[in-house]
Structure 1
Amino acid sequence: MYMKAEPGEAWEKLRASRANPPGRAGSGPRRRTYAAALEQAEQMFTAAAVVGPATRPLQVFYGLSQAGRAIAAAAVDLTGEDWRLDGHGIKAGSSGKPFADIEIRTDSATSRGSFVRLSRLLGSPVWGKADPVRLEQLWDVLPVNLSYPLSDRNRYPALYADERSMHVSPQSVLRIPVCDIPGWVVNDGSRDVLDTFLARYPGLARHHDYDRQPPRPDGPPDFTLYTNGGGEIEVSWLMPPGHTHVQAGRELLRSLTRSHGRSRFFLPSITPAGQQLHLLMAWWSVIYTLSMLARYEPAAWAELISVDKNHYAVPIEGVLKRAIDFLPSLILATVEEVSA
C-alpha cells in the first residue's frame, strides 16, 4: 500500500485549529459549530476504535458526518445560511440485493443534505435518485480496497500515480507510471481495451500517449507486469510549450488526480457526467451504506461480518479499520482545502 496513515497527528492539528478556526469559522455560530462538531467527530472515532464491526460503522459514519459540519462551517464559499446542513442527502437500499449490488442514491443537486451540499462544495458529483450507483463501484474508488474486490466482475479501481518516477521532457511532455491496472486489461493487451479502460478515468482520458511495445511506435501497450496479476504502464500528457520544470509537471498531475494519504490517484468516474469523486465523498458513501445496514438490518449485518461464514467479513473489517486510520488526515486536508 502506497499510503501512510497518521490519524494521531491529524487529530492533533484539528484540535489545535479550534483555538483559531480557519476560513469563515472564525466567529459566531460557525465558530461554535466548528469546535463542537470536531469534538464530537474525534470522540466518535475514538469510540469506533475500541468496538467491533457490529457497531463500528455507526460511530465512524456519525463521526464523519459531524466532521462534515465542521468543514461546512469553515468553507469560504458557503455564505449566509448555506453552511448549515440538513439531513443525510444520500440513501442506500438493499432490497434483497447482493452486497456488491446495493444501490446508493443521492438527493437532487439543490438539496441541503450533507452529502449533496459538501459534494457541491468540493466539486464532486451527485447522481440523484433515477440512476443509482452500486456499492461495488464506490467501493473500488477507495484506494484502500485494491486488494478486496466485492465480485469477479471487471474492476475500475483507484490507480496509483507514481509521482516519484514522474519526469518532464525538454519537449514539454509529462510522463508518469500509472499503477494497479487490473488483470483483465493487461491480459487482453490490446490498445482498444486499454483506451476504453482509460476513458473511464477523467484524468487519464486526457492523456497524449502511453508506452508501446517496440519496435513499432503505434504498437500494442507495453505493460510492466506484476507477479500477482495486473500491471502498470507509463502514460504521457502534453504540457504548454516551454513548460519543462518538474514543478509544472507536478501541478498538472495534481489537477488530474486526487490525494489520499500523501499519494495521488486517478479515480474512475461513476456518473455519465464524467467527474471524479472527491475521496472524502467516496468514503462518505461507502461508510454511510455500511452504517445503514448495521443500524436498520442488524441480522443481515451480523451475517455479513461473520468471518466463519461470509467472504465479505474480512474486507468489511479492513475498510472500517482503514477508515479510522485514514479519514482524520482526509478531514484535515479538506478543512484546509475549503478554508483557503
Structure 2
Amino acid sequence: MYMKKDPGEAWEQLRASRATPPGRAESGARRKTYAAALEQAEQMFRAAAVVTPATRPLQIFYGLSQAGRAIAAAAVDLKGEDWRLEGHGIKASGFDKPFPDIEIRTEAATSRGSFVRLSQLLASPLWGREPVRLEDAWDLLPVNLDYPLTTRNRHPALLVDERGIHEEPHPMVHAPVWDIPDWVIDAGSREGLASFFSNYPGLAEHHDCVRTGVDNRPDFTRYAQGGGGGLVVSWNMPTGSVPAEERRQYLRSLARNHGGAWFFVPAIAPMERPPHLLMAWWAVIYTLSMLARYDPAVWAGLIGVDGNRHAVPIEALLKRAIDFLPALIAATLEEVTS
C-alpha cells in the first residue's frame, strides 16, 4: 500500500539519472559527487540486504547518508558551496534508557551537517537541544504501523487516498483518511476526533467528516482484519470551485510524500511542524546505527528474538528500509530538482 515502485525499479531510475544528472548536478564537482554518492548508496543498500540485523543499520544509514549527498548536489535551491555536507548534524544519546526512550537531538541551524542542511532544503523541522524520543519518531514512519514499541495511544502517519476525487469542478475536496487507531474510533465522538486531528496540521484544517446517526458520530470504517480504520474527510478549497487536479494538488500540499503515497504526519514535540518523511527515516535509522556501532552489547540484546519484544519490530523496520527508501530517495530527488 505504501510504495508505488519496487526497490529494483527505483534503483534503475536512480542509475539512469546519472547519465544526465538532474538539477544543479549537471556538471562539475556536483555531477561527480552525484554519481559517486549514488553508486555508494546503492552498494550500501545491496550490502545491507545480505547481512543480519547485527550490522544492517550501519549499511542502511551510510547508504542513506550518501543518497543525501546526491540529493544536495542536485538541489536547485542550494547554491555556491551550500551543497557540500559536513558531518551528521544529528545526535542520539541515552542508550542506557529503555529502547523507546532513546533521545534524538539536532545540531543548530547554522550547522553544515547532513541532517541540518537536508532538513532546511526539505522544509523539515529542526528541534535542537530538546530531545525527540525514539518512539515518537518511530511512529512517524508508515511502515511501523503494525509494530508499536509500547501500548500507548499512538499518533501514526495517516494515509490519504486521493484516487476517489471526482473530475468535475467542485469547491471541496473529499478523501478517505486511513490508519486511524482503535482508541480514536472506540471513543467515537466528533470532539475526540477533532482533538486527535489537532496533532496533524493538514487535518486540523479540514472542514468536516462524514457523520451518521442522530448524534452525528463520525462514520468510521473499520478494517476487516487488524486494528484501526478510516473515514472520509472534506476540505474547503481556498480558490472556490476547481477541477480535480487542482483539488488533488491542494490535498498534497497538506500532506507528505512517501515514495508515491501521501500521508498526514503529526507534529510531535518539540517539532513545530511535521517532518519530511525522508528526515523521519533518517532520524530513526541514524539512531539504530549509532546504537549498533557504539553500544554493540545493548544492540545484540535488542535484536535477540528469544528475549526481547523489540527484536521483530526492529527486524521489520530494517527490512522495510531496504524496500521502501530507494523509492523515497527517488521521489525526494524529483522534489528538489523540479
TM over 0.5: yes
What is the alpha-carbon distance in structure 2 between the residues aligned to residue 285 and residue 95 of structure 1?
A: 15
Deviations 1:161-211 (A, max 9, x none): 122233478651111111111111111112222111101111101101111
Percent identity between matched residues is 68
Distance of aligned partners of 1:126 and 1:168 in 2 relative to their CA distance in 1, 3 Å threshold: farther
Would the aligned equivalents of 1:74 and 1:338 in 2 still touch at CA under 8 Å? yes
Matched, 1:214 2:213: yes
- The residue aligned with 1:13 is 13
Q: Equivalent residue of 1:80, what SS?
A: coil
Q: Which region of structure 1 is more displaced relative to structure 2, 268-277 or 41-50?
A: 268-277
Aligned partner of 2:232 among 222, 227, 234: 234
Specify every segment of 5 or more residues in structure 1 that has no aligned partner in the other structure, as ranges: none
Q: Equivalent residue of 2:266, what SS?
A: coil
What is the alpha-carbon distance in structure 2 between the residues aligned to residue 235 and residue 280 of structure 1?
A: 26
Displacement of 1:248: 1.7
Q: TM-score, normalised by structure 1?
A: 0.95
Displacement of 1:222: 2.0
- The residue aligned with 1:88 is 88
Aligned partner of 2:317 among 311, 316, 319: 319
Distance of aligned partners of 1:272 and 1:313 in 2 relative to their CA distance in 1, 3 Å threshold: closer
- The residue aligned with 1:287 is 285
Q: Which region of structure 1 is more displaced relative to structure 2, 229-238 or 114-123?
A: 229-238
Q: Which region of structure 1 is more displaced relative to structure 2, 314-323 or 223-232?
A: 223-232
Q: TM-score, normalised by structure 2?
A: 0.95
What is the alpha-carbon distance in structure 2 between the residues aligned to residue 163 and residue 27 of structure 1?
A: 38
Distance of aligned partners of 1:274 and 1:167 in 2 relative to their CA distance in 1, 3 Å threshold: farther
Displacement of 1:250: 0.7
Displacement of 1:46: 0.8
- The residue aligned with 1:157 is 156
- The residue aligned with 1:257 is 255
Matched, 1:148 2:147: yes
Q: Which amino acid aligns with 2:334?
A: E
What is the alpha-carbon distance in structure 2 between the residues aligned to residue 47 and residue 70 of structure 1?
A: 19
Would the aligned equivalents of 2:170 and 2:243 in 1 still touch at CA under 8 Å? no
Displacement of 1:229: 2.7
Aligned partner of 1:225 among 218, 222, 226: 222
Deviations 1:219-241 (A, max 9, x none): 22221223433221111100145
- The residue aligned with 2:53 is 53
Displacement of 1:258: 1.3
What is the alpha-carbon distance in structure 1 between the residues aligned to residue 241 and residue 288 of structure 2?
A: 46
- The residue aligned with 1:113 is 113
What is the alpha-carbon distance in structure 2 between the residues aligned to residue 139 and residue 316 of structure 1?
A: 10
Deviations 1:248-276 (A, max 9, x none): 22111111111223211111112456412
Displacement of 1:82: 0.6
- The residue aligned with 2:123 is 123
Matched, 1:334 2:332: yes
Displacement of 1:148: 0.4
Q: Equivalent residue of 2:163, what SS?
A: helix
Q: CA RMSD in A?
A: 1.6
Would the aligned equivalents of 1:168 and 1:175 in 2 still touch at CA under 8 Å? no
Distance of aligned partners of 1:141 and 1:15 in 2 relative to their CA distance in 1, 3 Å threshold: same
Q: Which amino acid aligns with 2:250?
A: L
What is the alpha-carbon distance in structure 2 between the residues aligned to residue 170 and residue 16 of structure 1?
A: 38
- The residue aligned with 1:66 is 66
**How does 1:16-31 map onto structure 2 within 5 Å?**
16-31=16-31
Would the aligned equivalents of 1:159 and 1:267 in 2 still touch at CA under 8 Å? yes
Q: Equivalent residue of 1:141, what SS?
A: coil
Would the aligned equivalents of 1:56 and 1:320 in 2 still touch at CA under 8 Å? yes
- The residue aligned with 1:77 is 77
Q: Equivalent residue of 2:247, what SS?
A: helix
- The residue aligned with 2:98 is 98
Distance of aligned partners of 1:113 and 1:213 in 2 relative to their CA distance in 1, 3 Å threshold: same
Q: Which amino acid aligns with 1:187?
A: D
Q: 4+ runs of 1 displaced by more than 4 Å?
A: 167-171
Would the aligned equivalents of 2:160 and 2:264 in 1 still touch at CA under 8 Å? yes
